[in-house]
Amino acid sequence: MSPELKRRGLIVLAVCILAFASGALLSSETFMSKLPVYERYQCALCHTVAEPVNGNAPLNAFGSDFHANGDKWDSVLAAKDSDGDTFSNGFELGDEDGDGTSSITIERSNPGDNLDSPSSLDEKSWGIIKRLFNDHQRSRMR
């Protein structure tokens, strides 16, 4: 095989790999953009792995429900509790009515992972509790 033929073969192979990889990335970005927020979990919102190597990574419970719902976010999917953690998908993604507008900028938790549930305390409340605990500890030490 001539060096020129090898070079052409490598170029064709590289172009095919880039086309395949960019297609998988673009399709994932297209699906994620249909959700109200996807900042923290990104691919792991729908897949069983955080960084799927290709578009064929297995879907988690939320990903399966999203696909069964026609790959769209709406009130039906928002009302559902895909992962069975007692929090609706809409609550976890900050869009309880499913209109596509989230009241938060980052997910409360992953609607496809039942071990990841939203905290009932926000960051400000947790800070107040920590301060009260620290104040109590200091007063006991006196």
Strands (E), the chain: none
- Say what the pLDDT of residue 133 is: 78
Token pair 């590289």 in the structure block, residue = 14
Q: What share of the chain is helix, strand, coil (3-state, %, to 5)?
A: 50, 0, 50
Whole-angstrom CA distances from 72 to 5, 45, 75, 106, 130 are 46, 14, 10, 19, 40
If one counts every other C-beta atom within 10 angstroms of the C-beta of residue 48, the result is 15
- pTM greater than 0.85 (yes/no): no
Residues 62-77: pLDDT tens digits? 999 999 999 999 999 9
| Proportion of the chain above pLDDT 70, given as a percent | 74
